[in-house]
Structures are given as C-alpha cells and as structure tokens.
Amino acid sequence: NAVVTGTTGRSPWSLLAAMHEIEADLGRVREVRWGPRTLDLDLVQYGDPAVASDVVLDEERLTLPHPRAHERGFVLQPWSRVDPDAVLRVGDAATPVGDLLAALDTSDIEDL
C-alpha cells in the first residue's frame, strides 16, 4: 500500500475520474463492487481539515473523507510517514493521522 499527497486544480469528481482512468489504463476491471482487484486507487481526503479547506461529501459517486480511512492502518501508516503532520476529519473532529494510527492494532501491517 502507498499514499500520495499533492495539490490539484481539479474538482474532487474530476480527480476521482482521473484516478479511475489510471486504474483502467493499468488493466483494472470493475466487475464486482468491493470484489478482488489488481489495483485500487482511493481518494481519501480532499483539502485539509486542519485549516478547514477540506471537502465533506456523502454522495453515491463520492464520499469524502473516505468513510473508513480512520480505521485502516494500511492507509494511516504510509500516510503518517509521507506527511507526519497530516490530519483527517473523523466526524466533526480534525484528528492527527498519527493519533488515529496509534489507536489501532497494526500488528498485521508490514513495517515500511
């Protein structure tokens, strides 16, 4: 697993569409929702909740922030290494990713 952070002029929907294009270009086929896949790019968060610039959405096509990111050590661990100051919105709270990671059992995650 890997995490990429960056900035963009694209909207969240445009960014998600571009991510889906990358998956398709690399051979990803979307046959079964939540089924096995060779590649899965997720848009976890758009903007920064630490400065209230994050986008919060709950739509069929896109939910932001990712509704289970705060429970997934395989997301939080590499994210905390790429950006030690990262913050994720969980409910109404902006919580440091490192704090979320510390609260999880990560014994089953391969050390990076």
* Residue 88, φ and ψ in degrees, nearest 5: -120, 135
List, by residue number, the catalytic residues. Answer: 28, 37, 40, 42
Cα distances (angstroms) measured from residue 42 to each of 4, 48, 65: 10, 17, 10
Under a CB-based contact definition with an 8 Å cutoff, are residues 46 and 3 in contact? Answer: no
